[in-house]
Structure 1
Amino acid sequence: MSELRFSLADVAGVRLAVSPANETVMSMWALASPVHHAVHLPWIDRARVTLRRPEVAERVRPLVELTWRGCPLPDFITPAARPNVEMADQLDQIADTPSAVVVQDLLSTTSRRPLSPFGQALLADPRGLLPQLVDAMRVWYDEAIAPDWSRMRALLDADVAYRAAQLAENGAGRFFEQLHPSLRWLGDRVVSDDPFERDFDLRDRGLALNPTVFSQRRVLWNLLEESLPAAAYPVRAVGTLWETAAPPPGDPLARVVGSGRAALLYLLDEASTTTDLARRTGMSAGNVSAHLTALHAAGLVDRARQGRHVLYRNTDAAAVLLRASRGG
């Protein structure tokens, strides 16, 4: 069990952002254990083909060795993300990690398992070998993550918008308890039901919260003293990541409003963004936007801004149409 102690400044410093580096690193866990990441099998099949290419395998080997079979991750390769950060920015940040921090972070992972051969070499020569690790992350992102990044990003952005609304509406205590079943808010601290046994004071540095598609079991913490405090938590609705939604054949609502608009109405029982709807329907963002404009004008969807996101959701009138279409 872990405890994170918050000051008022820490509560005010809770922030949400998407981290491309997290997805790049944690995707290796899905490759190493497909049975525990079955939801990602469409991606795993493609990624394994990519990793078998000799020119990719050799350059990505440092990352594979540091992450194989769920090895604890050194904090410096999953840095706290800020809003709208790009992979290139995070790689620059990782490349600038002081050697002493690299060493400390690597040693922090050895309590249950020894370092891999590359990990041992990096420990002995962090300045000389850190560029190889950064190159491995860059190659793996370009080859395996970037082709699907728009799809992943849409799901992650939708989660950030949803969580930001929860934080604004319910306050920090209720927000953390809704973030993951393992978390409880006890007055001035978050208690995490996990095996890490950490007692950590955030010390007015706030907490970066980064949703991730590749960690499905628990919240993962960056809590070393030299790291900016961060947590990677499982994204909502990860089961929809590789799906493409469409109305069932012969759907009566689709015959009335068109298949594209019907598909959106079926998905909008839960608030979603344009990019998330595009990902789930396979339509372009432009087509989704045009359909949503028409549905909004007809009084079938509402829209509300949450930060930099606009969330759409069915109105009561749309719910009546959907019940009639379903025979309810």
Structure 2
Amino acid sequence: MGEVRFGVDDLAGLRFAISPLWETVASLRATADPGRHAVHLPWIRKALALRQDRAVAAHGAALSALTPQDGAVRAFLAPSPRCPLAEIEEELAALVALPAEHVRGGLAEVARRAPLSAFERRLADAPERVLPELADAVLAWWQAGVRPHWPRIRSVLEADIAYRTRQLAEDGMREVFAHLHPSVRWSEDRLVSADLPAGRLGLDGGGITLAPSAFAPRCHLLSGQPAPQPLAGPPTAPPLAEQPTTPPCVIYPSRAVGTLWERRDRTGNALDRLLGRSRAQLLAHTSSPSTTTGLARLTGLSPGAVSQHLAVLRDAGLVTGHRYRREVHYTASELGVTLLDLTPGAPGPG
């Protein structure tokens, strides 16, 4: 049984973040094991073809190192996110700046379970020279396979964070951790998991970051120390002894991932005639929380038009809005969901 122990300052230092780098690496892992990521099959079918793209294929060795045959995710190659809404370029810069001992430590643990690939051996020999190659490979995959869908993915992740922060405010941290993942539970002052390597990680006042993932089927722990350990899977490293430069991060499966690639029949129907086609489309898109900007991107309407239609839907009690940082997330109300469910052929996302 492994434990992450919280102090008073750590409880006050709980924060949420979104990591484009982690999503990019995890999405690549999903293409290597489609059967385990059935919810993403609509995207995977297209993504597999993108793996043959010339710009992506040129980085084949590096990308293969991120999708090894042992099915693991090289978590030590994904630095803990440093800010809530990081850009991929910021995270790739952190990847390139990983200390050589961090990379070698992680690869040494990998080598205890399976032989290293040729690329991994090069990485262990000269991390400073090979890490930029790895960053270029991740960027190529991001541009080809993830960036075109990032607004949709990010919307789901932001909606999850909005839900968890509201849960934190209403029910407290115990409930947040109790529903994070079946393998994780909160006990007194610690986060406990049977999948966490034996021992205890003390946060020592640095706090912890929680990051939802659309592509992670289970939890992982990212840390700034050499060879951070996943919350799921076999032990990969001894307990961490020093205070990390950035807070550890728990990656956990996001809510509502099943809505990510869904499509519905968009033919004319009674809901179009009742609300108007644009408002019917917007109502359907708010089956998962969405921002004005995201809805404008999905529907092709201007942000101003989206705001006007949402105001009407909100006044009618069909959608509700809640603010997260500078953005308002709109979600179909219980009445709105019932209306969608009772209307055959209701329009939907995509």
Counting only pairs closer than 5 Å after superposition, residues 143-292 of structure 1 correspond to structure 2 as 143-194=144-195, 196-216=197-217, 218-223=218-223, 224=228, 225=240, 226=244, 228=246, 229-245=248-264, 250=269, 252-265=270-283, 272-274=290-292, 282=299, 284=301, 286=303, 287-292=305-310
User: How far apart, in 1, do the equivalents of 2:317 and 2:203 lie?
Assistant: 46
Give the alignment partner of residue 310 of structure 1, picking from 310, 318, 328: 328
Q: 1:74 Cα shift?
A: 4.0
CA contact (8 A) 1:164 1:306 kept: no
Match of residue 53 from structure 2: 53
The 3-state SS of whatever aligns with 1:180 is coil
Tell me the TM-score normalised to structure 2 length.
0.81
8 Å contact from structure 1 (residues 247, 254) kept in 2: no
Structure 1 residue 171 displacement after superposition:
1.3
Q: Which residue of 2 aligns with 1:114?
A: 115
Q: What TM-score does the superposition give when structure 1 sets the normalisation length? A: 0.86
Distance 2:149 2:333 in 1: 32
Q: Deviations over 1:69-112 (max 9, x none)?
A: 42241424243241121000111111111212221222233443
Summarize deviations over 1:31-87 as a string: whole Å, max 9, x none.
111111122122222222222134421224213223224224142424324112100
Which of the two has greater helix per residue? 1
The structure-2 alpha-carbon separation of the partners of 1:71 and 1:322, relative to structure 1 and needing over 3 Å to count, comes to closer
1:128-185: CA deviation from partner (whole Å, max 9, x where unpaired) = 2111111111111112211211121111111121112112222111111122222211
What stretches of structure 1 of length at least 5 have no aligned partner?
none
8 Å Cα contact 2:317/2:335 also seen in 1: yes
The whole-number CA distance in structure 1 between the counterparts of 2:63 and 2:43 is: 18
Query: What RMSD over aligned residues (CA atoms) do the two structures have, in Å?
Result: 2.8
Q: Partner residue of 2:233?
A: none
Aligned-pair distance for 1:317?
Answer: 6.1
Change (3 A) 1:66 1:318: closer
Question: In the alignment, which residue of structure 1 is the partner of 2:35?
Answer: 35
Which range moves more in the overlay, 54-63 or 130-139? 54-63
Instruction: Work out whether residues 281 and 299 of structure 2, in 8 Å CA contact, stay in contact via their aligned partners in 1.
Output: no
Q: Is the 8 A contact 1:17 1:210 kept in 2?
A: yes
Segments of structure 2 that go 5 or more residues without pairing to the other structure are: 229-239, 345-350
Q: Partners of 1:2 and 1:25 in 2: how far apart?
A: 25
Secondary structure of 2:185's counterpart equals strand
- In the comparison of the two structures, how many residue pairs are matched? 323
